[in-house]
Amino acid sequence: MFSYYLQLGLRSLRRNPILTALMVLGIALGIAASMTTLTVMHLMGSDPIPWKSDKLHYVQLDNWSADSPYYDDGRPPDQITYRDAVALVEAGKADRQAAMYKLSLPIQPQNPEVKPFQSLGRVTHSDFFAMFEPPFAHGAPWDRRQDGEHARVIVLGKALNEKLFGGQDSVGRSVRMGGNDYTVVGVLGDWKLRSKYYDLTNGAFNDPDEFFMPFTTAIDLKQRASGNNSCFRSSGDGWDAYLDSDCIWIQMWVQLDSNERLAEYKGFLDSYVNEQKKLGRFERPLNNRLLNVTEWMDDQRVVSRDVEVQTGLAFAFLIVCLVNTIGLLLAKFTRKSGEVGLRRALGASRRDVFSQFLVESGVVGLTGGVVGLALTGLGLVAVRALYPEFRSVAQLDWTMIAVTVALAIVSAVLAGLYPTWRACRVQPAAQLKM
Amino acid sequence: MEIRPILSALMRSKVSMILIGLQVALTLAIVCNALFIIGQRLERMDRPSGINESDTFWFGSNGFAPGYEATSVQKADLALLRGMPGVVDAAPTNSLPLSNGGWGEGIGLQPNQKTSTAQTTIYLVDDHGVATLGTQLVAGRNFKPEEVQDITFGDNLRPRVVIVSKALAERLFPGEDAVGRTIYVNEDNATTIIGVVERLQQPWVDSDSIEFATLVPAFMPYGNATRYAVRTEPGRRDEVMKAVEQKLGETNTGRIIGRMRSMEQIRADAYSGDRAMAIILGTVIFALLAITALGIVGMASFWVAQRTRQIGTRRALGATKGDILRYFQTENFIITTLGLVAGAVLAYAFSLWLMQQYQAPRLPWYYVPIGFVCLWLLGQLAVLGPALRASRVPPAVATRSV
Amino acid sequence: MLKMTHLQKVYRTHLIETHALRDFSIHVRDGEFVAVTGPSGSGKTTFLNIAGLLEEFTGGEYWLDGVDVRGLDDNARSKLRNEKIGFIFQSFNLIPDLNLFDNVDVPLRYRGFNAAERKRRIDEALTRVGLASRMKHYPSELSGGQQQRVAIARALAGSPRLLMADEPTGNLDSLMARGVMELLEEVNRQGTTIVMVTHDPELAARAQRNVHVIDGQVTDFDEAPKLRDPDAASRGAEAVAANG
């Protein structure tokens, strides 16, 4: 019976090609707009590390001025000072801990044919790799011992290894950066990061890090961060004064494997800050925070307001398209009330008529979904052109393709419910009096 | 025209009327708010940065060779740049308006003031800064060469003289002459305002205090990194950019010459999000209007088809073609108006939601009446085709047996 | 009142010409009640459409109440229709979305009467057909006979000189049909000329004069009114005398 209804539906749609085209176009446009924005929002905001996002916590301490809060709404600063970062890492109270900052260095390749170039990377502790789990193609991360030794080692990202060594296993080779030589200990594989969620302060959708270098080593070499630096009072002259200052420029993550550990660590942070208060630092009330990955992404508005507004508008647009489809289906089905009367007179039950018209709506939805999918593809091309930094999140995946088609069919069937119900109410004889 | 009978006829096909009305209402609500957002974005993008944008470009130099002397390289670079054909002037600067990265600092009127009077950005330039940027000095004087300090990287800034933007001067000394006045940059460091420029924006387009900028005369390389702004003769920018990249690359191989970016490129990047938002919302508005118009065409065609006999009867009873045309146009006008009234409420509700959720400004009142006019026109245009078809229904239809 | 001479109506498609009316002549005088009969396809309806100014004709002459109809544009024809002719259709053609009052109001609106005048006429017309008490009802709430009476009221409200009726009882049972016929005869007695198209010989017999149409031509008509209703006959005769 279903295939009979399907045939009837297809034939009916072919009979008024313009009306059908209007309906399909309406659904397709609505679906494409909502799916394009939804894809971007979904990929932007989705949990980048679902298996442990509740275990990774971003450390925030409020060392800001007593006179004015860092954020007007009283949230603590989004970075911490060097001295606090070092103190917390050395205390080692979390299951894992890594402080980090962004660093830009000139690289002088040994290959004379490659011109020196500027490279952006990350300075961090060895725990970073166990915490954020980038895949290794060759070698391994440096270890805690090397952290302690301030070792001149480096982990290369896939792209940089490609550029410097043609993608070969470069473990053990040397790289000259900013006038110093570093030994490659590991090379990352393809790390598919939709957003650089571990450093939201310096742009979630900026280019991926090209290298990783031990925190202790970079500090030894007086490498200033290329990311944000904020001071509420002057730091004093020179490198040592800077390290000792209340300027904030470091991000700090800890891994806490259970809620008990989280509670313990909170207690530790509070007691640490209270100790510091005795030294005259931390003038503001206790304001420590340990947000997990998804909380931190919400807090830092990884999904921008613009994207949210766009998604909202796109769904409102979909509603308009659906209202439009309801109207057109109503028109179409009403025009067929003679046929319904005839079918009913010939023995079709109300249920039969209901199924027939609902299948017809579904066919409109399916067609609209397929066209909408193609338009969504185009829409994402447009998003990538408009927002080059979103290229990692403006991609269709299988889930979204399935959601698109399903949404289209469900929308069309929903839109078809009322017109179908109306069609079913036609009395068998009513239309046959001529 | 016969409004009441049309209305009573409409009341007997409520669902179709509600569907079109709902569509019109949602369209009005979305279009008004989206247009408002687009308008805000365009206004934002239209703000002048205060500097010459058409002939200016910016680039960085980053030394890596052992023994690289950033300060001396910088002085040599500047001499070379200023001597190049097509160059009007060149200056070192840590940052530029629209560049989205720079130095923010609080300014006080007293030493060690607890909360600063204004948040400014600091542009570190030399005595060529004002001329290179092309901003107008409206009071006081420019920096003298001997006022430009050499500051070691990592040391604190202690300027003795500064030039401020007019907006900042006005904030610090409302209604007074700011030239010669003392302000405090960096806690207790007293500095004198020697000049005021017409306009100079901060590097951050989202800044609350975007018009508050301060020029400080200092050479301060960031490690081995320096940046230069170059202004060329009109129309020669691209040519000079190429020449500079080549020439500076040749003079010193111990450094990397960073990507050359024209101010136009920098502006486009700074506002790319706003531009994208405006384009996306514009597309949504267009699609929405198209869908609504098509919906009206579809429904009106259906009504005409359904009422062919009725139209014939009216014609038989003496209605002219014009009467029939007007009937359908009046009908559309009524439905659209009902939808628009609902839409106006929806538009303000939507605006209220945006205000609460995103601290968006209130929708100005005149957007809704403008939207009314647009949608009335859209409705009348959309219904014209079906209405004309209706007016061509021959009166003889009335005598045809069913 | 209505005079057609050598009227022609040809429908052309790209292949064939169909002569719906050929050399059709008829003269209906003021106050007459004429029945036009004929088998289906004979051209009755074409005659009605042309006589009612619903369609144009391709040749011959047509004078309606002293107006030469040839060459009138669409708007002039609409105006003429509205002022001079009332229509009664087989399937009533009431507008389902409007109540009785508004249905009767339709031609008056196009006539441009003011509100008070329209209300007076609607009340009067509905009273005349005995439905004044139901003016807020919708057509679907009435029986077929009642609907046709509303249609008659609508036709009469504008005080037309000529009433064109197309099988006015075709969709009614015999009881209702008789009521409608009596109403038409009553209207005729009060001075309105009626041209009624029907294929029902019994109905035709009640008219004063029968015109028989076959194959687009008038084949047979009684020149003199039948003397069945003395009242009507005398008035018919006066009318004939007055006219010519």
How buried is residue B110: exposed, middle or buried, by Cβ count under 10 Å (0-12/13-18/19+)?
A: exposed
**CA B288 from centre of chain:** 23
CB atoms within 10 A of CB C14: 4
Q: Is residue C3 part of a domain?
A: no
Question: C168 and chain B: CB distance < 8 Å anywhere?
Answer: no
Instruction: Please judge whether C78 and B396 are an interchain contact, meaning their C-beta atoms are less than 8 angstroms apart.
Output: no
For C35, phi then psi, to 5°, come to -105, 130
Is A22 an interface residue toward B (CB < 8 Å)? yes
Residues of C in contact with B318 (CB under 8 A): 78-79, 81-83, 107, 110-111, 158
Whether B263 is in a domain gets the answer no
Measure Cα distances from A106 to A117, A162, A181, B227 in Å. 6, 17, 12, 15
Question: Is residue A299 included in any domain, yes or no?
Answer: no
More confident residue, A342 or A239: A239
Q: A96-113: per-residue pLDDT in tens?
A: 999 999 999 999 888 777
The verdict on B30 and B78 lying in the same domain is no
Q: Which residue of A has its CA nearest to B30?
A: A313
The number of distinct structural domains making up chain A is 2
Nearest to C106 among B12, B314, B396 (CB): B314
Residues of B in contact with A110 (CB under 8 A): none
Instruction: Give the pLDDT score at B286.
Output: 92
Residue-wise pLDDT for B273-300, tens only, equals 899 899 989 988 998 999 899 888 888 8
**Is the Cβ–Cβ distance between B74 and B219 less than 8 Å?**
yes
The reply to whether B129 and B220 lie within a common domain is yes
Chain A window 187-216: which residues touch B at a Cβ cutoff of 8 Å?
Answer: none
Mean pLDDT of chain B: 90
Distance of CA C133 to the CA centre of its chain: 26
Query: Is the same domain home to A105 and A166?
Result: yes
B103 plus B242 within the same structural domain: yes
Taking the Cβ of residue A323 and every Cβ of chain B, the question of whether any pair is shorter than 8 Å is answered with yes
Contact B291 A324 (CB under 8 A): yes
Total domains in the fold of chain B: 2
Integer Cα distance of C222 and C233 in angstroms: 13
- Residue A352: pLDDT band (50, 70, 90) is confident
Nearest-CB residue to B291 (from A26, A115, A238): A26
The residue range of the domain holding A218 is: 62-287
Amino acid B223: pLDDT: 81
Q: With beta carbons under 8 A apart, name residues in chain B contacting C90.
A: 399, 401
Task: Choose among B204, B161, B151, B165: nearest CA to B185.
Answer: B161
- On whether the CB atoms of residues A123 and A215 are closer than 8 A, the answer is yes
| Chain B residue numbers touching C139 (CB-CB < 8 A) | none
Spacing of C-alpha B87 from chain mean position? 30
Band of pLDDT at residue A160, cut at 50, 70 and 90: very high
A226-240, A345-359, C20-34: the lowest-pLDDT one: A345-359
Q: Name the helix (H) or strand (E) containing C14.
A: none
pLDDT digits (tens, 9 = 90+) for B142-194: 999 999 998 887 778 889 999 999 999 999 999 999 999 999 987 788 999 99
Which pLDDT belongs to residue B170? 95
* Chosen domain end from B253, B281, B299: B253
Instruction: List the single best residue of B12, B317, B320 to mutate versus C (max C Cβ within 10 A).
Output: B317
Q: Are B316 and C106 an interchain contact pair (Cβ–Cβ within 8 Å)?
A: no
For residue A276, being part of any structural domain is answered with yes
The owner of tokens 């050395």 is A90
**Which uninterrupted H or E stretch holds B197?**
strand B189-197
Position B173 scores a pLDDT of: 95
Flag whether A66 is in a domain: yes
Instruction: Kindly indicate the confidence band of residue B132, based on its pLDDT and cuts at 50, 70 and 90.
Output: very high
On whether any CB of chain B is under 8 Å from the CB of C96, the answer is yes
Question: How far is the C-alpha of B142 from the C-alpha of B128, rounded, in Å?
Answer: 9
Show residues of chain B in contact with A108, CB under 8 Å.
64
| Pairwise CB contact (< 8 Å): A118 & B154 | no
Give the pLDDT confidence of A354-391 residue by residue, as tens digits. Answer: 888 888 888 888 888 889 989 998 988 888 888 887 77
In a domain, C16, yes or no: no
Chain B residues closer than 8 Å to A116 by CB:
64, 255-256
In a domain, B95, yes or no: yes
CB C110 within 8 A of CB C82: yes
Cα C30 from Cα C3, distance rounded (Å) = 11
What count of residues does chain B have?
Answer: 402
pLDDT of residue C244: 30
Q: In this structure, is residue B264 part of a structural domain?
A: no
- Euclidean distance between CA atoms A324 and A321, whole angstroms: 5
Mean pLDDT of chain A: 87
Across A180-189, C46-55, C192-201, C211-220, least confident range: C211-220
Strands B213-219 and B118-125: parallel
Contact between residue C192 and residue C160 where contact means Cβ atoms under 8 Å apart? yes
Q: Which residues on chain B are in Cβ contact (under 8 Å) with A364?
A: none
| pLDDT reported for residue C194 | 94
Q: What tokens does C195 get?
A: 């041209």
- CB-CB neighbors (< 8 A) of B45 in chain A: none
Assign residue C224 the CATH number of its domain.
Answer: 3.40.50.300
Distance from C-alpha of B107 to C-alpha of B214, rounded to nearest angstrom: 10
Tell me the average pLDDT across B361-381. Answer: 93
Asked if residue A57 belongs to a domain, the reply is no
| Residue among A304, A324, A388 whose CB faces B295 most closely | A324
Q: What percent of chain C has pLDDT above 70?
A: 90
Helix/strand number for chain C, H first, E second: 8, 10
- The predicted pLDDT at position A342 comes to 67
Q: Considering the domain boundaries, does residue B51 fall inside one?
A: no
- Considering only CB atoms, which chain A residues are within 8 Å of B295? 26, 323-324, 327-328
Q: Are B194 and B125 contained in the same domain? A: yes
Q: Which helix (H) or strand (E) holds B105?
A: strand B103-108
Residue A433: predicted pLDDT: 36
pLDDT for A177 beyond 80: yes
Q: What is the pLDDT at residue C77?
A: 85
CB contact under 8 A, B256 and A116: yes
pLDDT at A152: 95
Rounded to the nearest angstrom, the minimum Cα separation between B338 and chain C is: 19
A349 has pLDDT over 90: no
Instruction: Supply the pLDDT for residue C226.
Output: 47
Q: Do C74 and B321 touch (CB under 8 A)?
A: yes
Q: Answer yes or no: is pLDDT of B131 > 60.
A: yes
Asked whether the beta carbons of residue A316 and residue B30 sit closer than 8 angstroms, the reply is: yes
3-state secondary structure (DSSP) of residue C26: strand
- In tens, the pLDDT along C143-178 reads 888 998 999 999 989 889 999 998 888 888 888 888
User: What is the least distance, in Å, from the CA of C33 to any CA of chain B?
Assistant: 20
The model's pTM: 0.81
pLDDT given for residue A313 in this prediction: 86
Among the candidates A235, A252, A287, a domain finishes at A287
Q: Which residue has the higher pLDDT, B325 or A393?
A: B325
What is the per-residue burial (b if ≥16 Cβ within 10 Å, else e) of B36-52? bbbeebeeeeeeebbbb
Mutate: best of B16, B59, B64, B357, partner A, most A CBs <10 A? B64
Q: State the alpha helices, DSSP H only, in C159-229.
A: 174-189, 201-205
Residues B131 and B20 in one domain: no
Classify residue A410: in a domain, yes or no: yes
Instruction: Pick the more confident residue, C21 or A338.
Output: C21
B163 and B96 in a common domain:
yes
If DSSP codes are grouped into helix, strand and coil, which group holds residue A213? Answer: strand
CA R_g for chain A: 30
Please give, rounded to a whole number of angstroms, the shortest distance from the CA of C18 to a CA of chain B: 18
Residue B14 belongs to domain spanning: 3-46+273-399
Residue B322 and residue B372 in one domain: yes
Six token digits for residue A93: 């109270």
B9 and B134 belong to one structural domain: no
Shared domain check, A261 and A174: yes
Domain boundary among B253, B287, B313: B253
pLDDT of residue C231: 47
- Averaged over B68-81, what is the pLDDT? 90
Residue A56: inside a domain, yes or no?
no
Q: Are residues B116 and B39 in the same domain?
A: no
pLDDT of residue B86: 94
Domain with C206, as residue range(s), is 28-53+71-210+220-243
Q: Same structural domain for residues B155 and B116?
A: yes
Which is higher by pLDDT, B47 or A195? B47
The CA R_g of chain C, rounded to the nearest whole Å, is 18
Chain segment C103-146, per-residue pLDDT in tens: 898 888 888 888 899 999 999 999 988 899 998 898 888 888 89
Q: Is residue B261 part of a domain?
A: no
Distance CA A382, CA A378 (A): 6
CA nearest neighbour of A81 among A278, A274, A225: A225
Residue C230: pLDDT band with limits 50, 70, 90: very low
A68 close to B (CB below 8 A): yes
Partners of residue A316 in chain B, C-beta under 8 Å: 26, 29-30
Chain A: closest CA distance from residue B136 (Å)? 31
Q: Touching A: which chains, 3+ CB pairs < 8 A?
A: B
What does the pLDDT read at residue C235?
42
Query: Residue ranges of the alpha helices (H) in A133-258?
Result: 144-149, 158-165, 215-220, 239-244
Q: Are residues A72 and A12 in the same domain?
A: no
Q: Which of residues 309 through 328 in chain B touch C, CB cutoff 8 A?
A: 309-310, 312-323
Inform me whether the C-beta atom of residue A31 falls under 8 Å from chain B C-beta atoms. Answer: no
Higher pLDDT, A110 or A163: A163
Residues of chain B positioned with their CB less than 8 A from the CB of C107: 317-318
A96-108 vs A248-255, strand pairing mode? antiparallel
Q: Does residue C223 have a pLDDT over 60?
A: no
User: Which of B23, B38, B15, B43 lies closest to B283, judged by CA?
Assistant: B38
Query: How many independent structural domains does chain C possess?
Result: 1
- Is C54 in Cβ contact with B396 (below 8 Å)? yes
pLDDT score recorded for residue A335: 77
Contacts for A315 with CB less than 8 Å, ≥ 6 apart: A34
* Confidence check: pLDDT of B128 > 60: yes
Instruction: Calculate how close chain B gets to A321, using CA atoms only, in Å.
Output: 7
Residues of A in contact with B64 (CB under 8 A): 106, 108, 116, 178-179
Nearest Cα residue to C141 out of C107, C177, C100: C100
Helices of type H across B307-366: 308-316, 321-358
Structure tokens at C2: 């209505």
Cβ–Cβ under 8 Å, residues B58 and B259: no
